Structure 1
Amino acid sequence: MSDMQPLIGDDALDDLERAWIARARGRVLEIGAGRGENFGAFDPKIQWHGLEPDAGRRVELAQRAREWGHEAVPLDAVAERIPLPAASVDTVVATYVLCTVSGVRAALEEARRVLVPGGTVLLVEHVLAPHSRTLRALQHAATPFTVRWCGGCHQDRDPLAELHAAGFTDVAVRRVRVHDRPLPPIPILLYEGRA
């Protein structure tokens, strides 16, 4: 059986990600903010806070945050231990982060904890192929290498069950496959839920 999700190109994925992330409102916590690649997608009215455990990336992130008009200093922390009070943000955003955390469930519990009641979580993740046995086997085989050389990335994770267990409501899920030659299409999950 082959994957049944729509097949899109990199440009279409970029547009889809930007539109998904643009839904963030109010006080926004971006987990694993990297070097600030998502700043252009955010509404300029948000109050941005970023979480980035990598010191080198945090330096560049702080500079880019200032360039985009955000005053918050990026937090040196991991998603499993967010140093913010409960119910302190309106939106949590993470793009390609759950593949790298040491504990997906703990990260999601923390995201839910810091969200105000009714707050939104917006995620974009590459995930384990849901229907292709061949691609799943390739992802499992690649994971030891991507964990070591690609920032701890687990190619063979699918956090959807953990997201369901985290108790988010009003859930919207979209799955697509991204054509990335010479590799097989990469399955992507876009997730929105409410605390």
Structure 2
Amino acid sequence: MAKPLMIDDDALDDLERELMGRARGRVLEIGAGRGENFGAFRPDIAWHGLEPDAERRAELARRAREWGHEASPMDAVAEQLPLGEASVDTVVATYVLCTVTDIETAVAEARRVLTPGGRVLLVEHVLAPHSATMRGLQHVATPFTKRWCGGCHQDRDPLPALRAAGFTDVEVRHRRVHDRPLPPESILLYEGVAPR
């Protein structure tokens, strides 16, 4: 594997918007926060979101209405999606798998609710794939980021769980984002298709 490309925050924003713009049909956004992805979604999607944090969910509901989405955000977690099997065409999540309690269950739930041929689109903080020094820093930082950054585990690698879910036509892009004065952050952009 080649060393991930180094990019800046603006380039990462562009990559995230491009990936979220691939969402089609009935879209489930897991951990939708305050609706930061609304501007990246196509206007013709049928958006459904879940957000377990009550304060964020209230802001999300307001912003969803402003963007013309009819569904109210659900109070739920990624490990227990309140939807039936094969009920959505796209599952999206940005910086969510780093915060869940059980990453394997969360990924399996995303796979369960996708229609055959449906897509999962993810952007995640990940364990640095090419630097032992960075991995060491991430392990040291994680107890602090878990406590003060919404439960974020800087030292996770979601790829094994994503592989186990059996997605096909997988596109994986690793990037390193340099945000001075902090060291570069490892980011994963992932797209996979639920088997037909």
For the aligned pair, the TM-score class normalised by the smaller chain equals over 0.9
Aligned position for 1:63: 62
SS of 2:160's partner is: helix
> Structure 1 CA distance, aligned partners of 2:129 and 2:4?
10
Matched, 1:100 2:102: no
* Residues 90-121 of structure 1 deviation map (CA, whole Å, 9 limit, x = unaligned): 00000000000000000000000000011000
Aligned position for 1:27: 26
Structure 1 residue runs of 5 or longer lacking an equivalent are none
> Structure 2 CA distance, aligned partners of 1:44 and 1:161?
33
**Larger deviation: 76-85 or 174-183?**
174-183
Aligned position for 2:167: 168
Matched, 1:150 2:160: no
Task: Give TM-score, length-normalised by structure 1.
Answer: 0.98
Task: Give TM-score, length-normalised by structure 2.
Answer: 0.97
Give, as a single letter, the amino acid of the residue that structure 2 aligns with 1:22.
Answer: G
Identity %: 77
Which runs of structure 2 are paired with 1:79-94 in the superposition (5 Å)?
79-94=78-93
> Structure 2 CA distance, aligned partners of 1:172 and 1:152?
27
> Structure 1 CA distance, aligned partners of 2:136 and 2:11?
26
Instruction: Note the C-alpha offset of 1:126.
Output: 1.1
SS of 2:133's partner is: helix
Aligned position for 1:115: 114
> Structure 1 CA distance, aligned partners of 2:182 and 2:147?
19
Q: Over aligned residue pairs, what C-alpha RMSD do you find?
A: 0.7
Instruction: Note the C-alpha offset of 1:187.
Output: 0.8
Instruction: Note the C-alpha offset of 1:4.
Output: 1.2
**Larger deviation: 45-54 or 158-167?**
158-167
> Structure 2 CA distance, aligned partners of 1:92 and 1:148?
27
> Structure 2 CA distance, aligned partners of 1:131 and 1:175?
11
